[in-house]
Structure 1
């Protein structure tokens, strides 16, 4: 009677291997990614850097501050009397530098492009952080599922050992079956210890990425679904608009061109205009003397132009060519990168569906058949337990392919510039915490739009 009960329980276990129901305290990936973006000090620091560069663009486009000067001119050293000589005067002056037309605009544009480049770099760093958090989260989900299946296998083998021990006592089972079951339990225990350590390590990694003040347990959602497959061309079109590295390289090209224009204007003189007023004392006889007003302009002469300005222009032209080559190289490489990752995701999805549709049901059928034969003495204990474990291993492999598909999707999101809800608003200078904001490129945690 006991053996029949155990066999029935085993059949039910084999035929109902499904993802676990949700647990209280589960945290969604979108919530964790948003927390990481809000807490990460490096992301926040980069936002301040971008804001500083934006402010610097206004500074670069403004006129230099005028200079005010005061002085005593032409004072005789014999007496130091201010009324002795007619040219002695007390002077106050104002000097204003007037940059060559176009220089201020180019300088402001250069600072603005540097800010945009830094902002694209901030976006790249944020997307890399998003990928790291998502990668650790999906790995933690897979380890959690592995632990759950390990526990179910352990319970199953324990019941079979108990049943085999009863049959061995009644003379209907050999001792080898009991010893084999105990060996399987030892192997499962060793696997559980390794999985527990890996789970703890992944929790620590997630807490580190989120920069939490204290360690908190992380419980991943159990009901993860397959990502929606999209053609590579769709990902490429999105990447051409949103890939952060492509944006950085594009801004570097624009910045190099502005820097070249500035270098070409370097030989054009900035003019210093000076207006001075000189006040003279009355002469020793009491006669009034007129005051002086002076207006002058000065500018540099490019005497060493061939060794200074021309060399600077040549350097900036080389920088522009290098920036163009880097941009073109990555622009041509990007579609192939996306195509490779999209192929990995599609393969993982296909294999996951194949396992769920074919291999997992077949493994369950084989296990059930061996259980039925074992009850009447038609199969060995070893064959039966190996079939039961094979069924659960097939289920675990199916989940492994689901994890691989989700990891590939997150990588595609990084390449295409896609974000989780609320993240896009935190990738700009002066961004406020706004969890309610969402990026239309991603409506759900497992949609790589």
Structure 2
């Protein structure tokens, strides 16, 4: 009875001490918040920089492509007599300079310029979608690392309790008045070993997620990678992400309304601009049925005749053009190709919208089920488990319960806390996925508000 009373006192003291130790440890850490990680990742993303260069290149090309082809100049001596190469011998002999200029086919230059401008207009939407996707990806990695970190913290808090259980059980077993059995000690030691192994696995998971995060925290200087954050640590507080269009979570919204909303998403806007650009290709193909015109002019200088009389110089002016007659295997096929490309891009938009709708439905179901689980754990399961822990400890203290029940209840309590943590983290992860679908810019995806769980 004495040892069992001592067990209760030891567990209470150990639990209080472990919590204070954990708080002290966390406050002294160098913390890298979710917002900091995301911002650094966006700053250091070389894809975004390359995308800007690609846009500038196409914008520059859209200016140059609207210019006419350079005129061609020809200079030559015509009809020189081969018997003496005397410039004045024959009347047909002349020095000739000519200029020719080809004009674009129909409105092809204007259409090409508009097509490139539309293509360049895709890039800002591509960058915004890239930022949104990268924000979601880095946030998922950060939350996974956070989950591992806090699970380790919860287990470490309970290590003190199990160590005290072993100490008290061993003391009770070594005395004649104690009722602890050897199997009680072995059971407690086994659970302690399992917890140590679980900590090792969680540390491995945390390191894996942090290493994936660190990939995006490289900075580029003179072509070399300079890594600034070699030892990442995360804050103890779980971010509470604000949900965009929260009203859609608890309402029956139809697919057409969703498509209208998702049509403003950067990824869909990018495809819209792509459709406009490809549609210009159809117009460009139709222009190839029109003739292409060119003009040419030349001036021929003739020398004096053998009697010293001057000869008239010669001026030539002409127009050239082609006639697209054999169109079956050329222009017709080019137009058909352009039309099929346009249909393909329109199908791409439909496919992307369908993915958004499916992702919305899946994420919505996940959030509703997680909301239910959160409520069950918070209002029922956790309080019931805490009562069970108190009851088993009281029963054991009064010689009415087994030591194994005390250990089992503590393990159940620890697992419930870890499960509760997992639920909270999964809620935030799904809210991020939800926000990605509705966000028109990356900043909206991880805005934080209120207390934990209040956004559902």
Offset of residue 147 of structure 1: 0.9
Aligned to 1:168: 173
Is the 2:58–2:116 Cα contact (8 Å) retained in structure 1? yes
Offset of residue 379 of structure 1: 2.0
Moved more, 183-192 or 408-417: 408-417
How many residues in Structure 1 have an aligned counterpart in Structure 2?
428
Q: Indicate how the Cα distance of structure 1 residues 49 and 382 shifts in structure 2: closer, same or farther if over 3 A, else same.
A: same
Q: Does 1:8 align with 2:31?
A: no
Cα distance in 1 for residues equivalent to 2:420 and 2:259: 28
2:337 match: secondary structure = helix
Q: CA RMSD in A?
A: 3.0
2:436 match: secondary structure = helix
Q: Indicate how the Cα distance of structure 1 residues 304 and 367 shifts in structure 2: closer, same or farther if over 3 A, else same.
A: same
Q: Indicate how the Cα distance of structure 1 residues 82 and 357 shifts in structure 2: closer, same or farther if over 3 A, else same.
A: farther
Cα distance in 2 for residues equivalent to 1:291 and 1:25: 90
Offset of residue 231 of structure 1: 3.3
Cα distance in 1 for residues equivalent to 2:240 and 2:308: 101
Of 202, 222, 240, the match for 1:195: 202
1:231 match: secondary structure = helix
Aligned to 2:342: 320
Mapping 1:407-426, distance limit 5 Å: 407-421=429-443
Offset of residue 142 of structure 1: 0.4
Aligned to 1:220: 234
Is the 2:162–2:188 Cα contact (8 Å) retained in structure 1? yes
Offset of residue 201 of structure 1: 1.3
Q: Does 1:186 align with 2:193?
A: yes
Cα distance in 1 for residues equivalent to 2:16 and 2:389: 11
Of 9, 30, 33, the match for 1:25: 30
Deviations 1:14-49 (A, max 9, x none): 999999965542112222222222222233222211
Q: Does 1:108 align with 2:124?
A: no
Offset of residue 118 of structure 1: 4.6
Cα distance in 1 for residues equivalent to 2:232 and 2:64: 47
Cα distance in 2 for residues equivalent to 1:135 and 1:80: 86
Q: Indicate how the Cα distance of structure 1 residues 6 and 316 shifts in structure 2: closer, same or farther if over 3 A, else same.
A: same
Cα distance in 2 for residues equivalent to 1:3 and 1:385: 12
Cα distance in 2 for residues equivalent to 1:295 and 1:8: 107
Aligned to 2:358: 336
Is the 2:18–2:160 Cα contact (8 Å) retained in structure 1? no
Is the 1:14–1:388 Cα contact (8 Å) retained in structure 2? no
Cα distance in 2 for residues equivalent to 1:156 and 1:37: 43
Is the 1:106–1:258 Cα contact (8 Å) retained in structure 2? yes
Mapping 1:168-317, distance limit 5 Å: 168-171=173-176, 172=178, 173-211=180-218, 213-214=226-227, 216-229=230-243, 230-232=246-248, 238-244=261-267, 246-317=268-339
User: Unaligned regions of 5+ residues in structure 1, if any?
Assistant: 422-440
Is the 2:166–2:185 Cα contact (8 Å) retained in structure 1? yes
2:65 match: secondary structure = helix
Deviations 1:106-126 (A, max 9, x none): 111221222234554444444
User: Unaligned regions of 5+ residues in structure 2, if any?
Assistant: 220-225
2:315 match: secondary structure = strand
Is the 1:243–1:414 Cα contact (8 Å) retained in structure 2? no
TM-score (norm. length: structure 1): 0.85
Q: Indicate how the Cα distance of structure 1 residues 261 and 235 shifts in structure 2: closer, same or farther if over 3 A, else same.
A: closer
